[in-house]
Amino acid sequence: MRLPPSPEERIDRSRTVTFFFEGEPIEAYAGDTIGSALFAAGRRVFSRSFKYHRPRGLLCCSGHCPNCLMQVDGAPSVRVCTAPVREGTRVRSQNVLGSLDRDLLAVVDKVGGPFTPVGFYYRTMIRPRRAWPYYERFLRRVAGLGTIDKHARRSSRFDTEHRRAEVLVIGGGPSGLDAARAAARDGRRVVLVDEGLALDAQLPREDGFETIAPARAIGIYEGGLVPVDAGDVLLRFRAERVVVASGAIEQPLLFPGNDLVGVLLPSAVRRLTRLWSLRPGERAVVITADDRGLAAAEDLRRAGTSVARVVDLRTTQPAQMAARGSHGRVRSVSVDGDSVDCDVLVMSGGSQPAYSLLAQAGARVEYDGTRGIFVPRDLPPHVEAVGSAAGEGARGAAAVPAASYRGTESGGRCFVCICEDVTDKDVKRAIAEGFDSIELAKRYTTVTMGPCQGRLCHLPSIRLYARETRAEEATIGTTTARPPWAPVRLGLLAGRGHEPAKRTSLHHRHKELGAQMMWTGEWRRPHSYGDVAAEVRAVHEGVGVIDVSTLGKLLVSGPDAVSFLERLYPNRFGDLKPGRIRYAVLGTDAGRIMDDGTIGRLSERDFYVTTTSTGAETVLAWFEWWNAVWGYDVSVDNVTGALAALNVAGPRSRALLARLTELDVSPDGFGYLDAREARVAGVPCLLLRIGFVGELGYELHFPSPYAEYLWDTLLERGADAGIRPFGLEPQRILRLEKAHVIVGQDTDSESNALDANMSWLVKFDKDDFVGKWALEHVRERGPRERLVGFEMANGTVPPEGGQIVVDGLPAGRVTSARWSDAVGKAIGLAWVPPALADEDSRIEIRVDGRLEPALVRLRPFFDPDDERLRA
């Protein structure tokens, strides 16, 4: 099948490569593409068209058209005409039912009827309504191109690389190379990217500039950003100057039968004959509007194909042209009624500058009537076009006569868009239906929206449009060019798959103890260590320890620290004595609760602020933001990662601590809401006596490198007291028994401190604080809803988010609910209308469609007078 060896050819006949097509081994030479090897093996039908399932064969051989899309090693829609052969690759056809040569869905092409005209699915498949699921299943099966194996695992690792260049040249053709060399001579840092599809010429490896190939620029964005698809790496180039040398694209001609197998563009002839030494066929006809077609005729002759006729549209203006075929293969061409048998038809409708990247960058696109092409104009600063991308040398088919469009009357379909199977008739129909702007017609007919993204159909469709509407191409304009310019794998855009996790210093201790880990924001934390009830019991009866290192920890220091905090928080801090702690809620100027935590005063000018686990970074940025305006003399240091924290809680926690520290931990020496600095087991600690879980307890904050040592020591020395580590789930039950609020769980972005029963901490007599005015307004207006506790009458635990129902209407929602062994009831927190926010109010909660009765509780469920907490 191959021609005699030639010095130009790119194949190495001494090395063979075997790959599989539909399971059958195919022998190829090194240097072949999958497409050239299949062609050499006698294959002519490479795909079935999108809608009509018409046979399609190689057309451009340049990676532009949709005619050779196949599944390669599981990846759908690979253009095999440019995909190099590799040993063992498995290639399959796509979008066929049966085989490429006998596709059962080709019946669509024969039947015609309601399935063929443009927009049929909008009109045909809407009735009867209930049949839509069947239509949909059918359409999903037959529409689209390749298939993706949804269960396939990640097959390659994608990365993103940020790069800079003074001059980025896109395209390695002669003009691109000239531009790169010139810029390099000027001492610029130059990078040239090329698709590597210019198989005709190897890119020279030169000093002076970097060449990246095969790689494709997929767009030009603002700020000189050019993402480059380099296989498994996305290079995000920032370039001071972008030179676009993307060349021009050969255009097809419009005539009936222009999609038959055997119809080729000149580049396909050139590549098949010269690079892979293949004979495209036995007998050819060439119809051309430029010199490329004439060159192709030369190539054909050299390859031994007899050229039966050459029609140069620049000198002859045929009134009629049509290709006829059988079984989808071209058999004859008639020009003005004169029929010539052939199995190859070369069509050349001129070449259109590949201006898409320039248009994306902001260039205006103008129709050049004398040449019949669109050319880029008014380039934005820092972007330039060279060579045929700028319109140099390119010419369209201005000479193409009207007759060539007189397609369908003479039989056979005339395709404007081979990707989406849009015929000239479809475009005419769209115009007749009133889609009288090119953008609307594009959306209705989907012309230019297929895999070639307008490379082969943009110019012909606009020219046809102009002819049909008797308008000038220049006034019709073009459709908007949008990235990506070339197909991109989604994985490349997604980048490397990674899920960042924050782990505390005790992560491995938790794992060793068999903790079930869970996500809380970015943190990994123990849900429990296997026995939630026992962990709760340990805290109530003995002593438990929980890793709370995830708490946000900020040091606020400076002469203005008090003023700063008092202006941020609704609380007062001026009267807080050193060594004391206060619960504080952070709000916005809209009065909404943003975060909460404890603030301990370490000295006159130093405060230790804790935040929620997920709120640390937000709160830090919030502090800095406000102080960017206020300019208080304070510094805010984030010590979240530097310090670990443990909460030792339970009636025996004091005794345990007494063994480990010389600090006076007696109730008088270290009372509730006191803060002390002391050594615990030799580790310098900040001890905060606070009790989120409702029992006597101490939070120890200390340098995180000591975390495992202190954890081990506590578990060892507390063993006789029955110490148990406890996780988040037991902590949630314990805090719910005390009706302690979790910001973000029990409050949302609409909650304010007054409605959430925190009015005691809002000091309206302060001059100003963030949210003061909004809260004043809330106070005057009165509450709209209240956060209350409830207990279920019959022990059912309602779902979080469950509905509170009053008189059959939704009136509130459950935010937290758990079963509590200590209380012996199902308890929870809920937002209810103010009228129901009274002790013993009866409410109903929807559980599994039933309404379950519950009673409102305003006080903590467990230890309501905080006797255990303050012990």
Partner 1 sequence: MSFLLSCPNCGPRDVNEFAYAGEVTSRPAERPSVRELATYVHFRRNVAGVQQEWWFHRFGCETWFRAERDTRTNAVLATEAAHAEPDGQAAPAEAAVPDVPAV
CA distance 289 to 307: 17
Kindly tell me which residue out of 18, 520, 618, 757 binds partner 1, with binding defined by CB under 8 A: 618
For residue 498, the SS3 value is coil
In whole angstroms, the minimum distance from the beta carbon of 841 to partner 1 comes to: 30
In whole angstroms, the minimum distance from the beta carbon of 416 to partner 1 comes to: 34
523 interacts with partner 1 by CB under 8 A? no
User: Is 391 or 615 the residue whose CB approaches partner 1 more closely?
Assistant: 615
User: Is 334 or 613 the residue whose CB approaches partner 1 more closely?
Assistant: 613
Q: Judged by CB under 8 A, which stretch of 77-85, 368-376, 414-422, 770-778 contacts partner 1?
A: 770-778
In whole angstroms, the minimum distance from the beta carbon of 781 to partner 1 comes to: 9
CA distance 155 to 51: 30
In whole angstroms, the minimum distance from the beta carbon of 426 to partner 1 comes to: 37
764 interacts with partner 1 by CB under 8 A? no
User: Is 768 or 867 the residue whose CB approaches partner 1 more closely?
Assistant: 768
Which tokens in the block code for residue 630? 């206020």
Q: Judged by CB under 8 A, which stretch of 91-99, 125-133, 205-213, 621-629 contacts partner 1?
A: 621-629
Q: Name the residue among 297, 295, 317 with its Cα closest to residue 306.
A: 297
Which tokens in the block code for residue 244? 């676009």
Instruction: Locate the DSSP E strands across 328-423.
Output: 329-335, 338-341, 344-348, 351-353, 364-368, 373-377, 383-385, 415-417, 422-423
| Per-residue binder mask for partner 1 (CB under 8 A), 193-232, x = binder | ----------------------------xxx-x-------
Which tokens in the block code for residue 800? 């979080």
Which tokens in the block code for residue 838? 């009274």
Crossing angle for the helix pair 458-469 and 424-432, to the nearest 10 degrees: 50
Residues in the chain: 871
User: Is 126 or 621 the residue whose CB approaches partner 1 more closely?
Assistant: 621
621 interacts with partner 1 by CB under 8 A? yes
Indicate the helix (H) or strand (E) that contains 730. helix 728-737
Kindly tell me which residue out of 178, 674, 776, 800 binds partner 1, with binding defined by CB under 8 A: 776
> Footprint of partner 1 on residues 259-278 (CB under 8 A)?
none
769 interacts with partner 1 by CB under 8 A? no
Do the beta carbons of residue 788 and residue 858 sit within 8 Å?
yes
| Per-residue binder mask for partner 1 (CB under 8 A), 336-365, x = binder | ------------------------------
Q: How many CB atoms lie within 10 A of CB 679?
A: 13
> Footprint of partner 1 on residues 543-582 (CB under 8 A)?
559-560
Long-range contacts of 406-411 (CB under 8 A, 24+ apart): 406/319, 406/320, 407/254, 407/255, 407/256, 407/322, 408/256, 410/256, 410/320, 410/322, 411/256, 411/322, 411/324
In whole angstroms, the minimum distance from the beta carbon of 221 to partner 1 comes to: 4
DSSP 557: E
| Per-residue binder mask for partner 1 (CB under 8 A), 715-754, x = binder | ----------------------------------------
Do the beta carbons of residue 444 and residue 417 sit within 8 Å?
no
Residue 433, φ and ψ in degrees, nearest 5: -80, 0
| Per-residue binder mask for partner 1 (CB under 8 A), 227-256, x = binder | -----------x------------------
In whole angstroms, the minimum distance from the beta carbon of 592 to partner 1 comes to: 10
User: Is 253 or 568 the residue whose CB approaches partner 1 more closely?
Assistant: 568
Q: How many CB atoms lie within 10 A of CB 629?
A: 7
Q: How many CB atoms lie within 10 A of CB 749?
A: 10
Q: Judged by CB under 8 A, which stretch of 96-104, 254-262, 344-352, 612-620 contacts partner 1?
A: 612-620
Do the beta carbons of residue 800 and residue 782 sit within 8 Å?
no
Do the beta carbons of residue 418 and residue 66 sit within 8 Å?
yes
Peptide linkage before 128 cis (omega within 30 of 0): yes
Q: Judged by CB under 8 A, which stretch of 192-200, 449-457, 630-638, 793-801 contacts partner 1?
A: 630-638
Kindly tell me which residue out of 21, 29, 632, 862 binds partner 1, with binding defined by CB under 8 A: 632
In whole angstroms, the minimum distance from the beta carbon of 588 to partner 1 comes to: 6
Kindly tell me which residue out of 182, 403, 774, 793 binds partner 1, with binding defined by CB under 8 A: 774
User: Is 342 or 568 the residue whose CB approaches partner 1 more closely?
Assistant: 568
> Footprint of partner 1 on residues 61-100 (CB under 8 A)?
none
User: Is 419 or 770 the residue whose CB approaches partner 1 more closely?
Assistant: 770
CA 540 to chain centre: 47
Which tokens in the block code for residue 220? 């030009």
User: Is 637 or 677 the residue whose CB approaches partner 1 more closely?
Assistant: 637
* Tokens 């018409």, residue located: 54
Kindly tell me which residue out of 115, 135, 583, 626 binds partner 1, with binding defined by CB under 8 A: 626
CA 275 to chain centre: 39
Which tokens in the block code for residue 390? 């700028």
Kindly tell me which residue out of 121, 625, 709, 764 binds partner 1, with binding defined by CB under 8 A: 625
628 interacts with partner 1 by CB under 8 A? yes
| Per-residue binder mask for partner 1 (CB under 8 A), 389-428, x = binder | ----------------------------------------
Crossing angle for the helix pair 424-432 and 438-445, to the nearest 10 degrees: 120
| Per-residue binder mask for partner 1 (CB under 8 A), 130-169, x = binder | --------------------------------x-------
In whole angstroms, the minimum distance from the beta carbon of 130 to partner 1 comes to: 44
Q: Which residues pair with 259 in a beta bridge?
A: none
589 interacts with partner 1 by CB under 8 A? yes
N-term to C-term CA, the chain? 96
Q: Judged by CB under 8 A, which stretch of 510-518, 620-628, 787-795, 860-868 contacts partner 1?
A: 620-628
Q: Judged by CB under 8 A, which stretch of 352-360, 531-539, 622-630, 782-790 contacts partner 1?
A: 622-630
Q: Name the residue among 95, 88, 79, 66 with its Cα closest to residue 36.
A: 79
User: Is 105 or 488 the residue whose CB approaches partner 1 more closely?
Assistant: 488
For residue 176, the SS3 value is helix
**Residues contacting partner 1: total by CB under 8 A:** 31
CA distance 478 to 116: 26
CA 153 to chain centre: 18
Q: Name the residue among 351, 404, 361, 480 with its Cα closest to residue 64.
A: 351
Which tokens in the block code for residue 309? 């006729």
Q: Judged by CB under 8 A, which stretch of 145-153, 616-624, 656-664, 715-723 contacts partner 1?
A: 616-624
630 interacts with partner 1 by CB under 8 A? yes
CA distance 663 to 677: 9
User: Is 78 or 778 the residue whose CB approaches partner 1 more closely?
Assistant: 778
User: Is 485 or 670 the residue whose CB approaches partner 1 more closely?
Assistant: 485
CA distance 380 to 364: 9
| Positions in the binding site for partner 1 (CB under 8 A) | 162, 221-223, 225, 238, 559-560, 588-590, 594, 617-618, 620-622, 624-633, 773-774, 776-777
